[in-house]
């Protein structure tokens, strides 16, 4: 996760961060961008798997609608924005540094952002 943060830190992405006093297990590396679907398609076209693990805000999950189990107060603007802009990049214990560099390069390419030397 730290390597991804270093490789992607200058891109127009919202990167995950550990909160003070916590230690993440980094089972996912979710980034946020309003160009999520374009980024996912571009990475898929380059043979790079991505994930959309939480595609809907909780009250928008179909299982909660019929029973009225989830009462919504307000428009949940932040939750709904997160659901439509979050994409998980490949992250697993045996991911090699050169593979992360390939992913970062592909992200940069899809977003057409060139790294300055």
pLDDT value at 83 more than 90: yes
Supply the pLDDT for residue 65: 67
Round to whole Å and give the CA distance between 39 and 100.
Answer: 16
Supply the pLDDT for residue 73: 65
**Confidence band of 71 (pLDDT split at 50, 70, 90):** low
pLDDT value at 117 more than 60: no
pLDDT value at 13 more than 90: yes
Which positions ≥6 away from 10 have C-beta within 8 Å? 113, 115, 116
pTM of the model: 0.84
DSSP 66: T
């Amino acid at each position: 996760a730290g390597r991804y943060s270093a490789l992607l830190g200058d891109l127009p992405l919202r990167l995950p961060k550990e909160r003070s006093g916590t230690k993440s297990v980094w089972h996912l590396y979710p980034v946020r961008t309003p160009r999520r679907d374009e980024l996912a398609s571009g990475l898929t076209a380059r043979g790079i798997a991505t994930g959309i693990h939480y595609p809907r805000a909780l009250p928008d999950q179909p299982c909660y609608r019929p029973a009225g189990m989830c009462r919504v107060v307000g428009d949940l603007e932040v939750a709904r924005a997160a659901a439509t802009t979050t994409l998980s990049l490949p992250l697993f214990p045996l991911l090699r540094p050169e593979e992360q560099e390939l992913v970062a390069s592909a992200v940069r390419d899809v977003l057409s952002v060139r790294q300055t030397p």
